[in-house]
Each structure stands twice: as C-alpha cells, then as structure tokens.
Structure 1
Amino acid sequence: MASSLITVATCNLAQWAWDFDGNTKRIIESIHKAKAAGASLRVGPELEICGYGCLDHFLEEDTIRHCWQCLKTILEDKTCHGIMLDIGMPVSHEGLLFNCRIICLDGKILLIRPKLWLAGDGNYREQRHFTPWSRPQHCEEFYLDPIIEKLQGSGTVTIGDAVIRTPDTTIGCETCEELFTPDPPHNHMSLNGVEVITNSSGSHFTLRKLHLRMQLIMEATRKNGGCYIYANQQGCDGDRLYYDGCAMIICNGKLLAQASQFSLQEVEVVTATIDLDEIRAFRRSASRGMQSVQAPTYERIKTPFRLSPEDGHLDLDIFPSLEMQPRYHSPEEEIALCTGAYLWDYLRRCGAAGYLVPLSGGIDSCATAVIVFSMCRMVIEACQAGDEQVVADVKLLAKFGGDKVPDTPEDLCNQLFHTIYMGMSQQSSKETRQRAKDLASAIGSYHVDLDIDEVFNAQRNLIVNSLNFEPKFKVHGGSLAENLTLQNIQARTRMVTAYEFAQILPTTRERPGAGSLLVLGSANVGESLRGYLTKYDCSSADLNPIGSIDKSDLKRFIAWAEVNFDLPCLRKFLDAVPTAELEPITETYVQSDEIDMGMTYDELTTFGRLRKFDKLGPYSMFKRLVHEWGHNAGEHTTPAYTPRQVAEKVKRFFHYYAINRHKMTTLTPSLHSNDYSPDDNRFDLRPFLYPPFYQSLAFRCIDEDLAKIEAKQKEKAGGVD
C-alpha cells in the first residue's frame, strides 16, 4: 500500500524588485533547502522572479523577457529537479499580461495558472498592470517562449484555472488576494477533490494584520479540510511597504509550521509532513459530499510524479507534523521589529553610509532613534547567529575592518547612526537638550549638539533689512503671520542643517568613501493628517519610519522599549508634554502640540480611522461621533463632549485637513504601518485642492442637525419659551 505521508515546503524570500539575478539565486537556494528537508513540493511568493513591487515596470517588455530567462536558469539547473516547484512571474498571453504561477517539475512546465481576482485597493494597483483570469475552470493553450520550447520538448502548455493530479493527490493554486475574496477559489477546488492548495502572496505588513491573515487560512481548512501552503515575500523590495513573511502550513484547521514574521534572513524555508488520509477522513460527511458532486469540475494536468515516498513502506523517521500555536507579536514588538528590519534592508541595498536623525528631545524623534537602535540589535543578533549575508553587509557598511564585526548594538549604532540636536537659546529647554543627549549616550549614536541662533537671526534680519519690519513672536505681541514666519524659519533651518551634517559627517569621521547619510523624518501619522508640520522642515527627509504610526502606539512602543531594551532614560520622554519648541518659553507659556492643534492625538487617530476605514465624510463623522463622544463616551478614552463640541472638533479637523493637503504631495516616504495613512503619493488618493469646507454643504448639514439636537435638548430640559 502506498504511503499517505507527504512533506511540503514553503518559504519567506527577501526578493527585490528588478533584482533578477539575486531573486533567482534566492529561489534556487530555497529549492535546495526544501529538498534537503525531504520536501516533494516547494511553494514560493507571488511574482518572486521579478519581485512583487515592480509597479509600472510590469508594463515593460524587458520585465517579461528577463523573467523567462531566469525561469530557464531554474529549469536547466538539475539540482532543482526531483521536486515539484510553484514559482511566480508575469506571463504575456494573447496580448494580455497575467500574474501567474508556473508549476514545474524536472525542468518542464506542467501548468501556467493565472490569478483570477486582482488586488486593487489601498496599496495595490494590480488592475493597472495585469488582466484578471476571471474565467474559473477555463483553460487554453499557451505558446511557449522560444527559449523554453526546447527544454519543454513541445511548443505549448496549458494555461488556465486547472489543477495538478499526481498518483497520490491533487494540487491547486490560489494567489494572495483570492484568499480574501467572499467566494475564494479554495472552496470550489476543495469540493472538487483538491487536497493540497498553495497560496503565493505579496502581502504587506500593517500593525495587527497577522491575526486576520491567520484567521482566514485557518477557516479555509477548518471548513473545507485539506492542506494549505502559504508563502510570502519578506522585507523591503524597493518601495515603502514591508512584506512580513510568516509563511505557514495549515492542515484541517491546525497550524503545523510558521516561519518568522520579521527576520533579516534572505531565505527562510519551513516544512511540514501531512497525512493525506487525515484529510480524506476529515472530509467524509454527508452534507459535504452532496455539495461536492455539484461542484464545478477542474481540468486535471496529470503527472506520474508522487509527492509521497515511492516505496510506500512505513518509515518511523517520517511522521506527521504536530500542531503548534500561532506566534503573534504585540504591536510594540511589531513596531520594533518591522521598522528595524525595513531600515536594515533599505540601508544595505541603497549603499548609504548610515542614518541621521534630528533629535529634538520629544517622543517622535525619540521613537525614530529607538527604532534605529532596534535595527542594530537585530543585526547583531543575526551576526551572532551566524547569518553570513548579514555579516557581509555589516563589514561593508561599518568601519570595522577584516573579519571583525561590532560586538554590541551600541558599537554598530555608533558607526551607522548619527543624531543631532539643533537648539535655540530662547525656545529650547535644558530638559529637551539633556533628554536628547542621554538617549544618544544610551544607544551609542554619534551625537552632535549645536545651536542654530546665528542662522535664525541671519534669516530674520533679511526681513528687518529688506522690509524695514521687525517680526515678533506671539508672546512678544506679534501677529499670527509673524509668529508662523519665525517658527517656520527655525523649522526649515533645521532641515537644511540636518542635510548639511548628513553630507559632511562621514568625511569628518574619516569615512570619505562611504557616501552621505540618509536623513530620517519623525512626523507621526496624526501630524500628517492634521497638517501640523512645516513644509520642508524636519518632516522633509529621505525616509520616515513612523510616518503612519499614531502617537498612542508610539508611546506604547517607547514604554515597551524602556523595559525590553533596558533604556531607563525613555521614561522622561514619556512624561514630557509634546511640544514643537518653536516659540519662546516664558514663565507663563510653553508651546503645546495638542493645544495648537485644537485636538488631542487620540482624537486625531479616531478621525483618521473613520475617514479611511469607515469612509466617513464630515457629516457622517459628526453623526457617528455625536453618539460615541456623547452619552456613550464612558466606553471610550475620549471624554464626553456636547454635540456642539463634537461639531466644532469635526469641522476643525476637516478644515485643517483640507487646507494642509498640499503638504501631503511632498510628504517624506513613510514605511506603511497603518491603513489610514494620509500619504497620497501611493496610498491615499484624494484631492489636494479643496473648496472651503466652512462654506460647504457638509458643514451646513452638521449645523442643521446640531440645531435640531440642541432644540430637542432644550425642550427636554423644560426651557422652551
């Protein structure tokens, strides 16, 4: 009797858009690792040959041509034979471009399976580049590229929504977005007898997202039975997304293998051994059987290759994998690990000398600095674990020569990370300056402490000498325009100074061949939503690791890092009142972010989520919040507000959101960590020139409802004349 045990493999791959040679090398390495683990099926990420994030490069013929060249390299490599391969790449067929899986075996293509349903919201623009194969169970003849035809031994293969039939099981493919659709292909395939389903993804990270992904895959096999093999890309592939890996194998609703979610490994392979008899027993129910005979039929591509051992004898060394519990990171850990891994990928691939952060003494720039320290911790851990690629990258980037690598995160931080405090004598407090100094010392960054009074006064004197007008701050009797002008001089001076030092610091530290430093921004998602930042100030940088993380999550991250990174100096950042320190400090006045904005950071988070997730405009948001922030406020962190206060806050948010939208067109690229980011360059596609909201129909609707509510409240109170 034939064995019912099969061993399958899936992987996280650190693919890079248009890195054809590197991507092919990593694919081959993953195949070798899968074979070494005894697997007979290897599944890889979506579009893994060219990288998922090619964007409009998908429209270029070169991308398609190079993918076929790389596939040929894999097919010709006899070390990749003896295992069934599920490989992702774009395929042009009859003048249309499809996002495809190429199922291969021993140097030949068995099936080209195009993606049926494409992702087209949020960060995804697949319909811009690909055509969906929106014809379930439909197949056609595909004419092979001439460079593959000779290897294949024939000029055509099947393209379409078919499945692979081996002597011992049936295998079907699902691709990323298809899992998330209301009627996913795995339902129909499972009913039609498919026992092994692969899912190759290019799924990006957002905070708290893994639970949803895990739940969907668990439910798919808990309801249908079967083995589900999920592969994903990992790392930065050239854009602002981080792909968070977490390849997994699930059978009959039980998790059997899970790869890391955040890792510096370029190739990570996990395997599991499945008992096909368990799948068949799981599916034996009368109601399922009745639905199965009515299920659509798939064309089966037959092969004599078995996934189970050929001899069929019982082998005590091969046994079914045991169930394991899913591994989830807390949001604080996700921030530390995702941002750290992303910054390392970006730095090692772009070839810069390191990072520089303008350290203000506030919690946002503090969080950015701690994130870089987290990167250094992850790198040192990988070096100590013997990761050869990480070791090689460290030797290339850090000053340490020969075979020596830094011993501690602080040593590495001192080589790659630079912080600069840019103070003003009247605006900057001793406390913020000391906090910046203490943090730099604790994490080991190369720190510069300076004042920008001379530059500020020189710019201010341009107004005095040219216009015969002396601008004053608000606390000194100046107008709003004067106050903003003087604040913005400081803010923009800091941006220029940061880039000045980013350019020259490697030279002054005797690393002239290392290039310049990348400047990191520190504007959180709430400030961007509200537009509470100066255009082309320190929010303008090369990258912003915290640009889509809200203040509340940043505070929780800093509290977590205080303990887990042993950084007691972080407590002072948590206790400090958020301030831009752009106005003079007096005995009776210290500038406060939340007072300036007219709303708290928690309220900004609520506005952002309702605007994006719930798709609420001003009037709908007022209707929602008048309940949530009114008599139901006890269930929320926001204090109770009267309907008029709610209306004022909603109007204020949308007013400032609208007039500051132009700032989003130049927003520093942010690592995408939340799905209510206002970044309109790639994610949040909205106008940046709005009609005045205070004259809008939406605001008049709010006023009309507010008048009715207040009239009714007055009547209830017995105060009607």
Structure 2
Amino acid sequence: MGHLVTVSTCALNQWALDFEGNLDRIVASIVQAKAQGSSLRVGPELEITGYGCLDHFLEGDTFLHSWEMYARMLQNEDCHGILLDVGMPVMHKNVRYNCRMLSYGKNILLIRPKLWLANDGNYREMRYFTPWMKPRQVEKFALPRMISEITGQHEVDFGDAVLSTFDTVLGAETCEELFTPDSPHIDMSLDGIEIFTNSSGSHHQLRKLDLRLNLITEATAKCGGIYLYANQRGCDGDRLYYDGCPLIVVNGKVVGQGSQFSLNDVEVVTATVDLEDVRSYRSLMSHGLQSRTTPTYQRIPTAFALSKSGSTFDPTIVPTKPRPIRYHRPEEEIALGPACWMWDYLRRSKSAGFFLPLSGGIDSCSTAVIVYSMCRLVVSACDEGNEDVIRDARRAVGLPESEYIPTDPAEFASRIFHTCYMGTENSSFDTRQRATRLANDVGSYHVDLNMDLAVSAVREVFVVVTGKKPMFRVHGGSDAENLALQNIQARLRMVFAYLFAQLLPWVRGRSGGLLVLGSANVDECLRGYLTKYDCSSADINPIGGISKTDLKAFIAYARDEYNMPVLQSFLDATPTAELEPITETYVQSDEADMGMTYEELSIFGRLRKIDKCGPYSMFIKLYHEWTPRLTAEQIATKVKNFFFFYAINRHKMTIMTPAYHAESYSPDDNRFDLRPFLVPNMRYGWAAKKIDEVVARLGADKRD
C-alpha cells in the first residue's frame, strides 16, 4: 500500500529587513500550500529577514525582530495544521547561526543550523555566521520568553538532526550544502531519511540554472528520495537577482518546477509523491551495504504523519507525474532577469521612473530594450490580475488612487521611461537617427540635445586659465590633449543625465526623480574602456555584468521576439564612442581603440577570474587555443596588453555603478572581484619575461 504525501515548496520575493512584509509573504505561501492539500511547506533561506541583510546580520535587532515575526507566525492559526520549514538567523550561546526552524502548530520541533556556509564569489556568510561544526550532534536551545509564552516550551533541540513522523523521516539541507562534495543528503539517504528540504538564496547568473538543477536531480537519482528546493526570488537590495525556480524532485525526476523569472512575489509549487517509490528505488544491494557503515542521525520524534491517515484507498489522491525540465536560453535570461531586477528596484525605491542616455550604440540600446521587456512583464502581470503589480504600476506612473491599468508596454514606458540623445559635433547622423527610432519603438519620452556649447565653454575655461588650447589628435594634438577632450564630453553627459533625471518629471507635471541607468557592459568594465565619472556613472546598470557577445545575441532575439526591425541597424553598426572628430580617413572604433576584440575580452575575463590565471598561465592556455591562427608573439602581445590596461584602469572599478550580476568574470570591485586597485608593476615584469622566454624558445624551435 502506497503512502501518498502532498508537499509544497516556494519562491518568495523577500526584501532585506522588511520584517512585516516578509512575514506576510511567508503566511501567504503557507495559506496557498494548505489550500493545495499540502502537509509540508518549505521556504527560502533566511526568509524572515531577507537573505541580503549583509552586515545587518551583526546587529542584535535583526535577531530580535526575527523572533518577533516568528512569534506572530506561531500564533497565526492560518499557519497551523502543516509542517513548516522556515528560515531565520538564530543566536545560540552568543554565536550567530543561519538556521532552519521546523515547527508544527505552536510546537517548535527542531532548530537546524547551517553546516557549510557560502563564502566565496558574491557570498560572505562567514562574516556574519558560524557554521555548525558538530555533525549529527544536538544541544538544547533556550527559547526566548516571548516564544515560550506561546509554545509552552522552554527548550528545543538545536543541531544536526532529522524529524521522524509516523510515516517517514525528513532532513534539511541549506543552499551551499547541496554544492559541497560531501553533501548531507548522501549520509541522510543512507540512514533512511526519505524527504530532503533545501532552502536557498541562490542568485541568477547566465547559464547557471542547469548546474543547480543537475545537482538537485543527481542528489536523488543516485541516492533516491524526495527533494524539495525553495529559493529566494527578486532583488532584495543588492546587485543580485535571486531567480526562484522552486523544484520538487523524486528519484531524479522533476515532478514540480516553478518559474525562474516572475513578478509574482509568492509562488508555491505543490506535488503529491509516493513514499513507497523511494523505498523501492533504494532496494539496491550497494545501498543496503553502505547504509550499515554510515553514522546515524538523531531522530526527533513527532506526533503526526505527513500522509493521509487510514488504510482505505482514496482514488482522488494521485501522484504527480514527472515533467521535462524547463530552461531559458541565455537571450531570454537577459530579457527577463535584469528586467525583473529593475522592476523590484523601481517599485521599492519609490522612484518616478528611469532615465537613460541613449547613444545610438548597442549597449544603451540593450539597456533600453531591457526596460521595454520590463514593461512587457508588467503588462502581462496586470493582464493576469496581479494586484500587487497593478498597485505598484499606478504608483510608478503617479496615479496611485486611479483606475489606471497598463495594457500596452510602449504606453507604460512612455510614462516611466525617459531617454536622451546627447550629441556633439563628433556625433553622426546615423547614431542620432537610430536613437530616435528606438525611443519611438520602445515608447520612451525622448529628448534630443546638442552639447557643443557646453563642451566649448569648458574648454574655453581651461584656455583662459592656462593660456593653452588643447586639440584633438586628428588636428595635431597630443595623446593627452586628445584624451582630455574626449573626457570633457563624456563627463558632461553624466552631468546632463542627472540634471534631466531630476527635472524631467517636473517638466511633465509630476513629482519625484528618475533613476539614472548606466550602460557599460562587463567587457568594457574589465578593460576599463570608459571614462571615470562619465555617463557610465549612474544609479544602477542592468548590463554591467553581461558581455558584448551576449548583448548582440539578445538584441537579435529581441528584434524578432518584440518585432523591432530597427534593432538590426544596431547590430550592423560599428561600435564607436563618437568622442573624436570624424574625417575622411578616420572614424573612431571601440575595438581599434582597445587593441582587442570584445570576443577576446570575454576570453581574457574568464581566464583571469574563473580559471584564476595570471599573465603567464593565460598565455600558455591561449597558445594552445589560438595557434596557428595567431603566432606566439601575437598572443603574447595581446595578453600583455590586456593585463596592462586591466591594471592601469583597475581604479575605475572602485566607483562603478552597481550592476546586475550576470557573469562569473565580473570585475566588480565592490562585491565580487576583491583585488587591489593600485597595481604598481602594471607591466607584470617577471611574468612578461617568462612569456618572452617561451616565445623566444618557440621561435628557436621553429628555426631549428
């Protein structure tokens, strides 16, 4: 006789320190899970506080308010009658832990601290928490008086244990523990635990979802079991977007998968699973033999069952069938991830909209199209009757008390999206025309201006003060003069951007200010091919973690998906900053200026950050990859030039606009790429000598 259990997991859009709002979303997910017949509900990591509190986790108030919210949840009858797995920080013996709170009704069953903390890349959990270094050990935790008054308990078990119900055994993993070589679910499965919960705060990164899903499906494909994965969703106040995608997996097969990108603050995924399927799956001789040598977990007994009571067969309860895993293509990820991140930023910052300097190039074009994608998502959510999105959209357009509902993406964009082409005498007709056509297609409120008067005024101030007039290189000026004159234009664009962002709502009879959007891609940031404090300095940057190669693929996708033929002209155009005069023999080109292609920059970035290569090891790897297309000497020159420009421009990363994190080779100095911004030996002298020795030896070998 099978034992059918209905279980739920969820994705919640929690906001750091939004205690009451976070609790409301937790309760909403519990109510939905119960309505769907579930006897178990699993929520995201640190869902009561929000995952991204960062140094707020060092504050006692954060722990106090967590207990206050948890007390409300225990008292709320809507949260009774279902086993709950809720995430919050807990201090035990003056040590801070990242914990799972397992409860039923008003009874706390177990506090399970996280064993392995995420402490690299974007994560610094060991700055705030201590890992539980006592596997399979349990201590007594003294409950706060506010909790004891509700539960009647004074102590509960705290540690690495599992729950034993009348019909099954359940154990918890937390996020990073899934990614470790010796994951807890391995030993738990060998000790007879049948249901695993994983509560996560896992961020979106291009092409990353398959890694996560492979780990989850493999966990039970090899060991057998039922795996419930919950995740945070949305931007909780930082550069990361947590991409949801809650999962329910049985014996390696997905029976429930939520959306990866959505404007819904609460999403619950429910499935009915058969415990007997797990027991049958584990009937291997090797499983039985290995289970005899595996240490046992302390089981915390409970007084309830997850399956329906009685032995009578109920034909209305049917196991959920497996389904194929759903993935988005990278182009779709770019269209959806940054768009959802921007919507969260817009609605929670209470801004009046966005302002974007629209240059006519593919980078600012990509940013504009992502805003348009956001507007499409808003309209779609409104069509589905999402009251939260409707309310936020009304506030964003300045009509909070009206009956306004967005029905057309371009119309909604015309209210909240503002663009400006900031031209000079060095700008071309083509870029101005492209910017105007794109603004018309996406629906932005567009302004077109010439900055020549302002640029000339700044240059004349310098002439009056110094008595010397700088000239462009094409007019006989030095490299220093040429660079300074380019930077005047770039930095004035930043000044104009903030002027228009502050005053355009006033011009249109509205209150509030606009968020200024940056549009420097990850490769330009890596190379430092931008002016410090120019219009790359903004409030947020949706494409700052996306490569030029991926942006081109995204624009090609958007051209067809959004029916915007104008986007082809951006793909066909040569990338140019248009900061130098155009002559019959010279047109400024980004790739010519940089001395390397954008494709090469992506490769350099991945080798530098992901493969952790210095100049010498990068040269060796590229020699094997790029010969005979390039000679050893050509490869050496490119590698040395990359590291030189990376070093001299590293200081620019200290002030880069907070960007959506989308690539694992992001050079973001403020969170992700912790390297010096002053590199005294900018030519990497010793490494360069070793490269030259190899080049010389290879040349000698060829002559021989």
TM range (shorter): over 0.9
What residue in structure 1 maps to residue 415 of structure 2? 415
Report the Cα distance in structure 2 between the residues aligned to 1:487 and 1:364, rounded to whole angstroms: 19
Q: Which runs of 5+ in 1 are unaligned?
A: 632-639, 716-721
Tell me, what secondary structure is at the counterpart of 2:212? helix
**Counterparts in 2 of 1:313-392, with a 5 A limit?**
313-392=312-391
Kindly indicate whether residue 681 of structure 2 is the aligned counterpart of residue 692 of structure 1: yes
**Counterparts in 2 of 1:436-475, with a 5 A limit?**
436-475=435-474
Kindly indicate whether residue 535 of structure 2 is the aligned counterpart of residue 546 of structure 1: no
- Alignment check: 8 A CA contact 1:78 1:107 kept: no
- Alignment check: 8 A CA contact 1:81 1:105 kept: yes
Report the Cα distance in structure 2 between the residues aligned to 1:288 and 1:405, rounded to whole angstroms: 57
Report the Cα distance in structure 2 between the residues aligned to 1:264 and 1:501, rounded to whole angstroms: 29
What residue in structure 2 maps to residue 242 of structure 1? 241
What residue in structure 2 maps to residue 424 of structure 1? 424
Give 1:610's aligned amino acid. Answer: L
Tell me, what secondary structure is at the counterpart of 1:568? coil
Report the Cα distance in structure 2 between the residues aligned to 1:311 and 1:20, rounded to whole angstroms: 40
- Per-residue deviation, residues 52-110 of structure 1 (Å, max 9, x unmatched): 00000000000000000000000001111000000000110011111000001011100
Report the Cα distance in structure 2 between the residues aligned to 1:202 and 1:317, rounded to whole angstroms: 35
Tell me, what secondary structure is at the counterpart of 1:120? coil
Kindly indicate whether residue 251 of structure 2 is the aligned counterpart of residue 262 of structure 1: no
- Alignment check: 8 A CA contact 2:378 2:406 kept: no
Kindly indicate whether residue 587 of structure 2 is the aligned counterpart of residue 598 of structure 1: no
Give 1:707's aligned amino acid. Answer: A
What residue in structure 2 maps to residue 492 of structure 1? 491
Question: Which of residues 666, 669, 672 is equivalent to 2:658?
Answer: 669
What residue in structure 1 maps to residue 214 of structure 2? 215
| Displacement of 1:50 | 0.2
**Counterparts in 2 of 1:453-602, with a 5 A limit?**
453-512=452-511, 515-602=512-599
Tell me, what secondary structure is at the counterpart of 1:173? strand
Report the Cα distance in structure 2 between the residues aligned to 1:688 and 1:313, rounded to whole angstroms: 70
Give 2:565's aligned amino acid. Answer: P
Report the Cα distance in structure 1 between the residues aligned to 2:484 and 2:166, rounded to whole angstroms: 76
Tell me, what secondary structure is at the counterpart of 2:96? strand
Give 1:363's aligned amino acid. Answer: I
Report the Cα distance in structure 1 between the residues aligned to 2:262 and 2:298, rounded to whole angstroms: 39
Report the Cα distance in structure 2 between the residues aligned to 1:677 and 1:565, rounded to whole angstroms: 28
Report the Cα distance in structure 2 between the residues aligned to 1:212 and 1:154, rounded to whole angstroms: 42
**Counterparts in 2 of 1:72-471, with a 5 A limit?**
72-400=71-399, 402-425=402-425, 427-471=426-470
Give the superposed CA RMSD.
0.8
Q: Which runs of 5+ in 2 are unaligned?
A: none
- Per-residue deviation, residues 494-531 of structure 1 (Å, max 9, x unmatched): 0000100000000000002xx11000000000101110
Report the Cα distance in structure 2 between the residues aligned to 1:110 and 1:195, rounded to whole angstroms: 18
C-alpha change, 1:295 and 1:87, in structure 2 (3 Å) is same
Give 1:372's aligned amino acid. Answer: V
Tell me, what secondary structure is at the counterpart of 1:113? strand
Give 2:503's aligned amino acid. Answer: I
What residue in structure 1 maps to residue 635 of structure 2? 646
Report the Cα distance in structure 2 between the residues aligned to 1:299 and 1:225, rounded to whole angstroms: 21
Give 1:289's aligned amino acid. Answer: G
Give 2:45's aligned amino acid. Answer: E
Report the Cα distance in structure 2 between the residues aligned to 1:407 and 1:213, rounded to whole angstroms: 36
| Displacement of 1:691 | 1.8
- Alignment check: 8 A CA contact 1:228 1:251 kept: yes
Q: Which runs of 4+ in 1 moved over 4 A?
A: none
| Displacement of 1:287 | 1.1
Report the Cα distance in structure 1 between the residues aligned to 2:223 and 2:284, rounded to whole angstroms: 11
| Displacement of 1:314 | 1.6
Report the Cα distance in structure 1 between the residues aligned to 2:690 and 2:17, rounded to whole angstroms: 51
Report the Cα distance in structure 1 between the residues aligned to 2:54 and 2:677, rounded to whole angstroms: 23
Report the Cα distance in structure 1 between the residues aligned to 2:467 and 2:23, rounded to whole angstroms: 66
Tell me, what secondary structure is at the counterpart of 1:216? helix
What residue in structure 2 maps to residue 719 of structure 1? none
- Per-residue deviation, residues 174-229 of structure 1 (Å, max 9, x unmatched): 00000000000000000000000000000000000000000001100000000000
Give 1:702's aligned amino acid. Answer: I
Tell me, what secondary structure is at the counterpart of 2:535? coil
Moved more, 139-148 or 303-312: 303-312
- Alignment check: 8 A CA contact 1:555 1:574 kept: yes
| Displacement of 1:569 | 0.3
Moved more, 285-294 or 396-405: 396-405
Tell me, what secondary structure is at the counterpart of 1:694? coil
Give 1:612's aligned amino acid. Answer: K
What residue in structure 2 maps to residue 683 of structure 1? 672
Report the Cα distance in structure 1 between the residues aligned to 2:298 and 2:185, rounded to whole angstroms: 15
Give 1:658's aligned amino acid. Answer: A
Percent of pairs identical after alignment? Answer: 60
- Alignment check: 8 A CA contact 1:258 1:270 kept: yes
What residue in structure 2 maps to residue 709 of structure 1? 698
Give 1:691's aligned amino acid. Answer: P
Tell me, what secondary structure is at the counterpart of 1:653? helix
What residue in structure 2 maps to residue 58 of structure 1? 57
Report the Cα distance in structure 1 between the residues aligned to 2:458 and 2:483, rounded to whole angstroms: 14
C-alpha change, 1:10 and 1:695, in structure 2 (3 Å) is closer
Report the Cα distance in structure 2 between the residues aligned to 1:570 and 1:52, rounded to whole angstroms: 38
| Displacement of 1:317 | 1.4
- Alignment check: 8 A CA contact 2:352 2:398 kept: no
Tell me, what secondary structure is at the counterpart of 1:319? coil
TM-score by length of 2: 0.99
Moved more, 518-527 or 403-412: 403-412
Report the Cα distance in structure 1 between the residues aligned to 2:313 and 2:15, rounded to whole angstroms: 43
Give 1:687's aligned amino acid. Answer: P
| Displacement of 1:695 | 5.6
- Alignment check: 8 A CA contact 2:669 2:675 kept: yes
Give 1:205's aligned amino acid. Answer: H
What residue in structure 2 maps to residue 655 of structure 1? 644
Report the Cα distance in structure 1 between the residues aligned to 2:194 and 2:684, rounded to whole angstroms: 60
Report the Cα distance in structure 2 between the residues aligned to 1:658 and 1:452, rounded to whole angstroms: 32
| Displacement of 1:399 | 4.2
Give 1:257's aligned amino acid. Answer: G
| Displacement of 1:312 | 3.5
TM-score by length of 1: 0.97
- Alignment check: 8 A CA contact 1:693 1:699 kept: no
- Per-residue deviation, residues 307-328 of structure 1 (Å, max 9, x unmatched): 0012342211111000000110
- Alignment check: 8 A CA contact 2:648 2:682 kept: no
| Displacement of 1:402 | 1.4
Equivalences, count: 703
Report the Cα distance in structure 1 between the residues aligned to 2:451 and 2:405, rounded to whole angstroms: 36
Give 1:647's aligned amino acid. Answer: A
Moved more, 56-65 or 134-143: 134-143
Report the Cα distance in structure 2 between the residues aligned to 1:315 and 1:695, rounded to whole angstroms: 73
Report the Cα distance in structure 1 between the residues aligned to 2:312 and 2:57, rounded to whole angstroms: 48
Give 1:537's aligned amino acid. Answer: D
- Alignment check: 8 A CA contact 1:15 1:237 kept: yes
| Displacement of 1:152 | 2.2
